[in-house]
């Protein structure tokens, strides 16, 4: 799949799924504007990908700051060209029982996972609508559709961003702009490994935790970040030209979706 010359803006590009998405688009000839609040790690990722022959430009930025994001989008379009694809991959996780969730925990998760998606999508969508085309893909989670113990803030943020993206797709359809969601399950990233405690490992996740009402993964393996990136690339490509407002679960069957 050749995306040569396309301009792709990816948030959360310093690690995990966002970094895999940046690699996937860069490997297909796209110009990738890589955005992340972690300046040092972002530049390391961009330098490594550029050394491998990809066209990656680092744009340090915090998706929580709406005014700064608008300026960043202006800069990306001046320096790289009109954004053809936006991938909202920035995300944070705070876990724990709801009754122990602090205001700071709640606000931190909502600020990045939901408000951040709004802050980036709004200026990009406005430009796409004016030009009459474009694609937006938001990375959510299967936790946005299946209750998870000790993940209420995260799950709520992902459910909300899923519906936001679908509503955006409805409004933008008349302009030829498609908006879709990819909902990963357990994926081998620093975020997942950060949830593991003593005795936890990939096999524990794969087998499930009955005491937490969590089924395992029917395919018997964790997702790799590249698995999620492949789904994003597909939804952004012309091969998905008649797909919009959809939520694609990439979780090895863990959500048991109807």
Catalytic residues: 154
Distance of alpha carbon 125 from alpha carbon 82, whole angstroms: 11
Distance (Å) of CA 238 to CA 61, 122, 133, 166, 242: 29, 23, 12, 19, 8
For residue 74, is it left (φ>0), alpha (ψ between -120 and 50) or beta? Answer: alpha
Phi, psi dihedrals of residue 194, rounded to the nearest 5°: -70, -15
Q: Which two tokens stand for residue 179?
A: 């908006």
- State the Rg of the chain over Cα: 17
Burial class (CB in 10 A: 0-12, 13-18, 19+), 56: buried
Would you say 88 and 11 are in contact if contact means Cβ atoms under 8 Å apart? yes
Distance (Å) of CA 125 to CA 13, 73, 115, 136, 163: 20, 11, 15, 8, 16
């Amino acid at each position: 799949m050749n995306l040569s010359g396309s301009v792709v803006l990816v948030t959360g590009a310093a690690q995990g799924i966002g970094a895999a998405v940046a690699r996937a688009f860069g490997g297909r000839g796209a110009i990738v504007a890589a955005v992340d609040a972690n300046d040092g790690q972002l530049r390391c990722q961009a330098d490594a990908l550029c050394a491998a022959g990809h066209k990656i430009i680092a744009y340090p930025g915090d998706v929580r700051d709406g005014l700064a994001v608008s300026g960043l989008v202006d800069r990306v379009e001046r320096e790289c060209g009109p954004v053809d694809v936006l991938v909202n991959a920035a995300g944070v996780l705070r876990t724990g029982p709801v009754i122990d969730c602090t205001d700071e925990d709640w606000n931190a998760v909502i600020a990045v996972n939901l408000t951040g998606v709004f802050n980036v999508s709004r200026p990009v969508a406005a430009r796409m609508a004016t030009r009459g085309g474009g694609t937006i893909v938001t990375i959510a989670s299967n936790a946005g559709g299946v209750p998870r113990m000790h993940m209420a803030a995260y799950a709520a943020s992902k459910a909300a961003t899923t519906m936001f993206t679908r509503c955006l797709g409805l409004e933008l359809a008349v302009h030829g702009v498609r908006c879709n969601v990819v909902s990963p399950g357990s994926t081998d990233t620093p975020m997942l490994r950060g949830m593991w405690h003593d005795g936890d490992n990939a096999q524990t996740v794969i087998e499930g935790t009955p005491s937490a009402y969590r089924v395992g993964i029917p395919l018997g393996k964790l997702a790799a970040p590249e698995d999620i990136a492949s789904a994003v690339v597909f939804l952004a490509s012309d091969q998905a030209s008649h797909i919009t407002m959809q939520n694609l679960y990439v979780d090895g069957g863990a959500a048991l979706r109807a």
